Structure 1
Amino acid sequence: MRPCTALVLLCALLPAAALAAEPPVQFENSLGMTFVRVPAGTFQMGSDEAPDTLAAAYPQYPADRFAQLFDEAPVHTVRITRPFYLERTEVTVGQFRRFIEASGYVPESEADGTGGYGYNAAYDPEKSQSGDAFEGRDRRYSWRNPGFAQGDDHPVVNISWNDATALARWLTQKEGRVYRLPTEAEWEYACRAGTRTRYQNGDDPAAMPDVGNGFDADAQPLWPKWQPYASVRHDGNTFTAPVASYSPNAFGLYDMHGNAWEWVADWYGEDYYARSPVDDPQGPATGNVRVRRGGSWHTWALYTRSSYRNWNTQETRYPLVGLRLLSEGD
């Protein structure tokens, strides 16, 4: 009997319960979020690229930009000991709206009366006190209105870390399975999906528009000051793009580069990598700011790399920042 025939017969003889015990590849929850199973595994976290190497790849950036990336080192071994389910895309406007309607939760941008940040064509960063690229805080801006049009299939933005964890808690209570933000290590492991390159599709920043929505020739005309840092290619979206508009990575995850920054669970520690445990690192025990990863539609290619780290206070709400949830389970 040929081996393949024997395998077919063996599977046919297995009890239905045994076949059903195989973990699902993905599932959809009560808010319409699809979660993809990410296997346990080991990877090299961080980057140790020399400033000279980065300068050659990103010649338009001032030299001091590369020195600021010291917190991506040292490269260190991380073992993710348990499989998990990560949301296939960033949380969308429609999914967040369903959460608000079902839970009665009031996001921080509305609850504290100070609003968020948003795009305003009449706003001039050069004439503002902060010099920020966006206007705010202002009560006009929130997840409902970041100053540009969004459909229900766009990533929700102007979401604080506290809003993100409130969504996870509500889903946990409603569905009886644990939802949370991924750790920084889980996020980078899922983003890399077996790669060691700057992006899921290689090292070339010019190819980033194939896999994500970053600061490009579509967005650049609105911020001419930063023209040198824009991708010369068009990615088809001036602001946020509908989720899953670009190629997924090897784990089947979309928009890990660009579209919206994604909150992760960890406190930020600039020297944490030097003392990180190998197994399932959780980040520093305390801190002042939380980590966000992945870059956004307004982010230069140097900062949408898999290894790049950024941070904000827990109550920050901004038109570039959203979230992606993790669900525990085998």
Structure 2
Amino acid sequence: MKPIDTTFAALLLVSGLIATSAHAANESKPQTWQDPQTGLQFVRIEKSCYRMGNDANVAPEADGGWVRLNYTQSLSADEAPAHEVCLDAYWLGRHEVTRKQWKQVMGSLPDGNDSLPDNLPVTRVTWEQANAYAERLTSQHKKRFRFRLPTEAEWEFACRGANPAGLDKNVPTNGDELARIAVAAVEAPAIPEPVGSRPASAAGFFDLLGNVWEWTADDYVADAYARHSLYNPRTGASLDKAVIRGGSVRTEFVQTRCTMRGRYPKHDTLKLLGLRLVREE
């Protein structure tokens, strides 16, 4: 991977990649809860407001796949405008849902997950299947707790370190730092790692960047941020594509950042697309 030039370094600050001083809440041990049925762990994120999105123009890496495909547009055109959002408290999964945890709730794995270790993230899951998993887990708890996919705003806040004042200390500024905390930008053949293989973020989460893409609750709309409500925004437009976040083992460094918005058809599966859940208060 080529060194990052000064222009790119400047845009990292606004795209969720420059580390700043951590909020005091991140200096203490995160408050966690573990589901006794599946072992799913959740980290509590306090009610807060933060600045979501990115106004910078993020160009493809000169030596990356986008440029080789003659794609020279901004990779961040749908991440603007940067805007304030406020979230109620919620609990976000500490890890991506594993194959074992999927089987415990659904009884069997989605097609294409055979012959892989149980502690790898479950993949090849459609958006509908991901929601069905959350609904069944809710039912198993007799609706005492409600589980669901995170919204874009919830996912991004966690990735930023659940820190209203800045960004997570552990968010990488270059490829070497990324390789320390996330499996990403790996040449083929590449497969995900077991969840929790790399260090946790300061907020207590594993694999928010890299490993496998993660479904969110939001439908994909390019100009969604211009329409966001201030409180608990979610885009529900009954469209056929949903937002995916975080990148994967195959994602280039410039795309493996907290503000990157991917999209994928709800009815389709991908070998590097999984999920993590929210437990509501």
Give the TM interval when normalised to the shorter protein.
0.7 to 0.9
Structure 1 equivalent of residue 113 of structure 2: 144
2:148 is the alignment partner of 1:180: yes
Structure 2 equivalent of residue 271 of structure 1: 223
2:165 is the alignment partner of 1:213: no
2:108 is the alignment partner of 1:156: no
Q: What's the offset of the Cα at 1:39?
A: 1.2
2:281 is the alignment partner of 1:313: no
* Counterpart secondary structure, 1:67: coil
* Counterpart secondary structure, 1:308: coil
Cα 1:198–1:306 shift into 2, 3 Å: farther
Q: 8 Å contact 1:295–1:304 — kept in the other structure?
A: yes
Question: Is the deviation greater in 308-317 or in 188-197?
Answer: 188-197
Structure 2 equivalent of residue 39 of structure 1: 46
Q: 8 Å contact 1:199–1:208 — kept in the other structure?
A: no
Structure 1 residue aligned with 2:63, among 57, 60, 63? 60
Structure 1 equivalent of residue 23 of structure 2: none
Q: 8 Å contact 1:158–1:319 — kept in the other structure?
A: yes
Greater gyration radius? 1
Question: Is the deviation greater in 194-203 or in 283-292?
Answer: 194-203
* Counterpart secondary structure, 1:166: helix
The Cα RMSD (Å) is 2.2
Q: What's the offset of the Cα at 1:198?
A: 9.7
Cα 1:294–1:258 shift into 2, 3 Å: same
Question: Is the deviation greater in 309-318 or in 202-211?
Answer: 202-211
Unaligned runs of 5+ in 2: 1-29
Count of residues in correspondence between the two structures: 243
Q: TM-score, normalised by structure 2?
A: 0.80
Give me the whole-angstrom Cα distance separating, in 1, the residues matched to 2:71 and 2:254.
13
Structure 1 equivalent of residue 158 of structure 2: 190
1:30-71 deviation per Cα after TM superposition (whole angstroms, max 9, x unaligned): 1111111111111111112234xx56xx44243844524200
Structure 1 equivalent of residue 100 of structure 2: 94
| AA of the residue aligned to 1:50 | N
Q: What's the offset of the Cα at 1:305?
A: 0.9
| AA of the residue aligned to 1:182 | P
1:205-248 deviation per Cα after TM superposition (whole angstroms, max 9, x unaligned): 442111111122xxx254xxxxxxxxxxxxxxx31101011121
* Counterpart secondary structure, 2:120: coil
Cα 1:192–1:151 shift into 2, 3 Å: same
Cα 1:221–1:315 shift into 2, 3 Å: closer
Give me the whole-angstrom Cα distance separating, in 2, the residues matched to 1:60 and 1:269.
29
- 1:295-306 paired onto structure 2 within 5 Å: 295-306=247-258
| AA of the residue aligned to 2:177 | A
Give me the whole-angstrom Cα distance separating, in 2, the residues matched to 1:211 and 1:48.
26
Q: Which has the higher contact order (CA 8 A, sep 6+)?
A: 2
Unaligned runs of 5+ in 1: 1-23, 110-141, 223-237
Q: What's the offset of the Cα at 1:100?
A: 2.3
Q: What's the offset of the Cα at 1:92?
A: 0.4
2:164 is the alignment partner of 1:245: no
Structure 2 residue aligned with 1:73, among 72, 77, 80? 80
More helix per residue: 1
Cα 1:241–1:199 shift into 2, 3 Å: farther
Give me the whole-angstrom Cα distance separating, in 1, the residues matched to 2:244 and 2:100.
22
Q: What's the offset of the Cα at 1:76?
A: 0.8
Cα 1:143–1:168 shift into 2, 3 Å: farther
Q: 8 Å contact 1:269–1:284 — kept in the other structure?
A: no
* Counterpart secondary structure, 2:279: strand
| AA of the residue aligned to 1:185 | A
1:255-280 deviation per Cα after TM superposition (whole angstroms, max 9, x unaligned): 00011111010111100111211111
Structure 2 equivalent of residue 83 of structure 1: 89
| AA of the residue aligned to 2:57 | A
Q: 8 Å contact 1:143–1:156 — kept in the other structure?
A: no
Cα 1:44–1:94 shift into 2, 3 Å: same
* Counterpart secondary structure, 2:55: coil
Cα 1:196–1:59 shift into 2, 3 Å: farther
